[in-house]
Each structure stands twice: as C-alpha cells, then as structure tokens.
Chains A and B, each alone.
Chain A
C-alpha cells in the first residue's frame, strides 16, 4: 500500500524539553493507524508536532512523498491533512453550520462548500438537525462529532485524531467509531491517537505503541492486541480490566 503520510525520526516537545524520541510512523492510503500508549507517552505531542503546535526538534514529515516538515498548519490542511485536537476542538461561539463553514475555509466557491456540507450532513445527520445551534451548547459526543465533521469539510486525505474517544460514554463512543469506519470506507486514511487501546486497535489496521516518548512496538493491530507480552507490559489491559 503506498504511503500517504510518513514521519521519520521525529524528536518533539515543548520549550527545551524533548518528549518524543526518534519516532517514525508510516500511514498508507485509506488505512486506519492507531498510536496507543499510556498517559504521558508523547502520543499527542507527536501529532501536534506535525502541525507545528508542539516544537519539532528533529525529523522529517512527508505527505504524498513531498517533504512538508515545518509547513504551517493552515497550509497542511489545504494540502489534505486534517487534524482534530483532543480538547477545545469546536468553536463554541459559532453555530454547527458556521463551524463546518470554517472547516472549508480554504475551499474556493460556494457551490463546492455547499456540496461538501451536503456530504457531511449525510455522514452526520445528527448535526444537520441542529445546524443553527451554538457548538458551545453541545454534549461531549456531539462536539466530538462536530470536530470530526469540521475537519472532514476540508476533504482531507489523511485525518489526525487526538483521543477522539476520551471522556465519552459507551454510546457516543460507538457512534464515533462507526463514523470513523465510514470515513475510512470513503477512502480517508486516519491516524488515531488513543488511550482507549482496545477500541483504537479494534478499528485499526496497524498500530504503534509509544512508551516514554519512544516507539516500543509496532505491527498489525491484531497482533499487537493479542500479543501477550504487549498486553501485560505495555498496554496494561489486565490492570485496567479490559
């Protein structure tokens, strides 16, 4: 499978503190890749560093074979890389429709934006019925859905999701997972950073396990999940009762 996004030997962090150490990741076209690991392992920092929201000390980022290291986040979005932060991922003072409008900011022409919005409303009918509601009034699950929908408005070829299932109860978690599967079926690659290891690996094709900022394991999601050593040593599933 040709790679759509690859990051090589990334070292990233904040101020002068390096949190992510020499991590390399490859994402194929249309596949879901999970980056899992315990709290504080550098998963979110890795994602943020790709868009310039965390400091990139070293390494390179390639998108569709082109070096996009250090490119501004708004340019990356226009190139086809979507990003959904873990928190503060919707504009609370804007309505749902306006949030979606902002997702298509770089798109030219009202017709293409209208068409993209139509597709998004088909994918997220829950948002259409409340399109004039302020995002600040939405529940956690609805807001997460809006955040993903906003990123999808730019019609990305790869979508970077930072803990989309965090703090969600089981029902909205299932809804979000089903939406992600639909997005994958539509051909968009997804990188999902999650602490909910079981859920993340269950929808992913491949995965990476980050421990203390370094890549401890990588491979097929199934093998990562079933491998006894990883379950015990890294994923901590027994300890969490999963």
Chain B
C-alpha cells in the first residue's frame, strides 16, 4: 500500500481546523460555566441548517450563510444559557444536573431540527473548485476551512489577550468569585462567551455540512472528537485547544491509514479520538493546560 503522506498531513490539517472551530466555543463555555454542554452538538447542527437555508434556500451565498448562522445560533446559545443553565446554576445545580440538562436540551433541539427540516440528508449544491499542488488534492472549501481556523485562532488570541472582555473571560474562567470581587459583571461575560461559543459551533456545522451532508445528527457525529480536543487541550484553555485539535486531527488521519493497512473499517476512526480522550483523562487529566498557563 502506497501512502500519500503529504495528503495525510493536509487532511489532518483540515480535520484539525474543523475540530478547532467546533471546540473553541465548547472549551470556553465549559471553562466558564463549569459543565460540559452536550447540546453544543446541536448548536453545530442548527448552524449547518441555518447556513443551508441562507445559502441554498434563500440563495444568498456561503459567506452570508456563515454570518447569519453565527448570529442566529449565537442568540440561541444565549437563550439556552439564560433560560436553562443559568437558572439551574443559581439554584445550586451540580455539574451532573447541568450536564443531564444539556443532554435533554440536545434531544429537544435535535428532534425540533428534524421536525423542521426533516431527517432526510441535505447537501450544499455550491461547487468548490478542486486543484492539485504537487501530490496534494485540494478543494476551495478546504482552503476556506483552514483559513477560517487560522483567522479564528488569531482573532481569538487578540480578543483574549488585548481586549477587556477577553481578559475578563480568562479571569472569570480562572476564578469567578475573584472576578466578581474585581467588579466584573460575570453574568454578562458568560453570556457573551455563550454567544461566541454557539456562533462558532455554527461555523463548524456549515463547514462539516458543506464537506459531507447535513442531517439532524451532523453535530453529534463530531462531538466526541470535539470533546476530546477540549479535554486534551485543558478545559477552558484556548491555546491548548489549538494544539489538541491538530493532534487529534493528525491521530485520526494517520489512524485511518493504519486501519486500512490492517484491513479494518475506517468508521473506527472515531474510536481514535475516544482513545485519546480516555488516555488523557487517565494519564494527564489537566490536558495540555500546563503548557499554556496564560489561557
């Protein structure tokens, strides 16, 4: 079997970019709200459907689909936090209560999406140019995806380090009580983070949907590796998430080569992220956080 390693590395970058876009929101809301929001999967799905509606049904194009999808899903994120998780947290709900509530919310959103758009898979009809560079096969969508991930990493770094709200997000994630005692409106910081987090999940949904298909389990299909990125990167740690996304992207794509060499189905690739997640939790539960203490 001849392996095109350049293509494997490029595919790893594509996978890592998708996981990064999906994981940034999850890790930030996890760090601030102190629970894993499983409904993040449905934010991804909802974003994909809204993007599809804007780009395909309204015919307004892919860039506008990204913007509208970010805004609408971001607002849904705010409503979910204000309507469900914040009241629960203020009444003393534990991480288990909040996690179960997020799973329940995920089911409700998933079946509501199915009822609205049906369970039949949908496909973006936008045709992306494809070209070769040396041994690499590249499509315009993948270039968009990688550039979006790079832009996101730069923008988020700027926000977290240079802006008042970004520093407040890092401060609140580190010590919410001290943040309050510093005069930070913690509720507002968390709301803004949920807006950004859900909005970015929508980006991930659109790219995933444009690359494969859209159906009510679009987000669920990739939530496990996204959680693996969050755990490996260190909960709430944006910089750790960047590295973790590309580690898991690489592991998955190299793993696929291994699965093929062993004559196994490539659908086991999802198990690679699960394996990394389990190993991280056993060996280094804090993930890569210690490498990026400024997050």
List 12 other contacts, CB 8 Å, given A85-B181, A94-B171: A53-B181, A74-B182, A74-B183, A74-B186, A91-B170, A93-B170, A93-B293, A95-B294, A98-B170, A101-B164, A103-B182, A105-B183
Neighbouring A residues of B186 by C-beta, 8 Å: 74
Expressed in whole angstroms, the Cα–Cα distance for A105 and B181 within the complex equals 10
Residue in A closest to B293 when the chains form the complex, CB atoms: A93
Distance in angstroms from A158 CB to nearest chain B CB is: 14
A134 close to chain B: CB less than 8 A: yes
Decide: A73 and B167 in contact? CB cutoff 8 A: no
Do residues B183 and A91 form an inter-chain contact, with CB atoms below 8 A?
no
Answer whether residue A78 sits at the interface, using C-beta atoms and an 8 A cutoff. yes
Q: What is the CA–CA distance of A84 and B175 in the complex, to the nearest angstrom?
A: 13
Select which of B164, B175, B180, B185 is within 8 A of A91 by beta carbon: B175
Task: Check A210 for interface membership: any CB of B closer than 8 A.
Answer: no
Quick one: CB contact mask for B282-295 with A, threshold 8 Å, 1 for yes? 00000000000111
Interface residues of chain A, those whose CB is within 8 Å of chain B, are 51-53, 72-74, 77-78, 83-85, 88-95, 98, 101-106, 134, 136, 150-151, 154
| B170 pairs with A150, CB closer than 8 A | no
Set of chain B residues within 8 Å of A92, measured between Cβ atoms: 174, 293
A85-B177, A89-B178, A134-B293 are contacts. A94–B167 as well, Cβ < 8 Å?
Answer: yes
Question: In this complex, what residue of B is CB-closest to A156?
Answer: B183
- Bound-complex Cα distance A91 to B295 (A): 11
14 contacts between A and B (CB under 8 A): A77-B180, A77-B182, A78-B183, A85-B177, A88-B175, A91-B170, A91-B171, A91-B175, A93-B174, A94-B174, A98-B167, A105-B164, A106-B183, A134-B294
- Bits for B176-197, please: 1 = Cβ < 8 Å to A, else 0: 0111111111100000000000
Decide: B179 and A102 in contact? CB cutoff 8 A.
Answer: yes
In the complex, A101→B171 CA distance in Å? 11
Task: Report the minimum CB–CB distance from A161 to chain B (whole Å).
Answer: 12
Instruction: Give complex CA distance A95, B182 in Å.
Output: 15
Collect the chain B residues with CB atoms within 8 Å of residue A151's CB.
181-182
Q: Does B168 contact A (CB under 8 A)?
A: yes
Residues in chain B near residue A83, CB distance under 8 A: 181
User: Among the interface residues B178, B179, B182, B294, which one has the most CB atoms of the partner chain A within 10 A?
Assistant: B182
Q: CB < 8 Å: which of A74, A91, A95, A101 contacts B174? A: A91
With a cutoff of 8 Å between Cβ atoms, the chain A residues found around residue B171 in the complex are: 91, 94, 98, 102
A93 to B294, Cβ gap below 8 A? yes
In the complex, chain B residues whose CB is within 8 Å of the CB of A102: 167-168, 171, 179, 182, 184
Inter-subunit contact B295/A73 (CB<8 Å)? no
B181 close to A51 (CB less than 8 A): yes
Quote the shortest CB–CB distance from A167 to chain B (angstroms).
Answer: 18
Question: Closest residue of chain B to A100, judged by CB?
Answer: B182
Do the beta carbons of A150 and B180 come within 8 Å of each other?
Answer: no
Give complex CA distance A61, B164 in Å: 31
> How far is A73 from B181 in the complex, measured between Cα atoms in Å?
6
**Contacts A91-B175, A105-B168; A154 near B183 (Cβ below 8 A):** yes
Q: Is the CB of B183 within 8 A of A103?
A: yes
Complex interface: chain A residues within 8 A of B183 (CB) = 74, 77-78, 103-106, 154
* B174–A150 CB distance below 8 A: no
Chain B 152-164 interface 0/1 with A at a Cβ cutoff of 8 Å (1 = within): 0000000000001
A154, closest chain B residue (CB): B183
Central interface residue in B164, B178, B186, B295, by most chain A CB within 10 Å: B178
**Which residues of chain B are within 8 angstroms of A94 by Cβ–Cβ distance?**
167, 170-171, 174, 294
A52, A72, A93, A150 pick with most chain B CB within 10 angstroms: A93
Cross-chain contact A105 with B293 (CB below 8 angstroms): no
Asked whether, in the complex, the Cβ of A91 is within 8 Å of the Cβ of B294, the reply is: no
Give the residues in chain B near A91, CB-CB below 8 Å: 170-171, 174-175, 178-179
Q: Which residues of A contact B164 (CB under 8 A)?
A: 101, 105
Nearest opposing residue in chain B for A107, CB measure: B183
Chain B residue numbers with a CB within 8 Å of A136 are 293
Residues in A with CB closer than 8 Å to B179 are 91, 102
Bound: A106/B170 CA distance, A = 16
Within the complex, the shortest CB–CB distance from B27 to chain A, in Å, comes to 14
User: Which chain A positions have C-beta within 8 A of B168?
Assistant: 102, 105
A84 neighbours in B (Cβ, 8 Å): 181
Expressed in whole angstroms, the Cα–Cα distance for A150 and B167 within the complex equals 14
Residues from chain A with a CB closer than 8 A to the CB of B178 are: 85, 88-91
Contact partners of B295 in chain A: CB under 8 A: 93
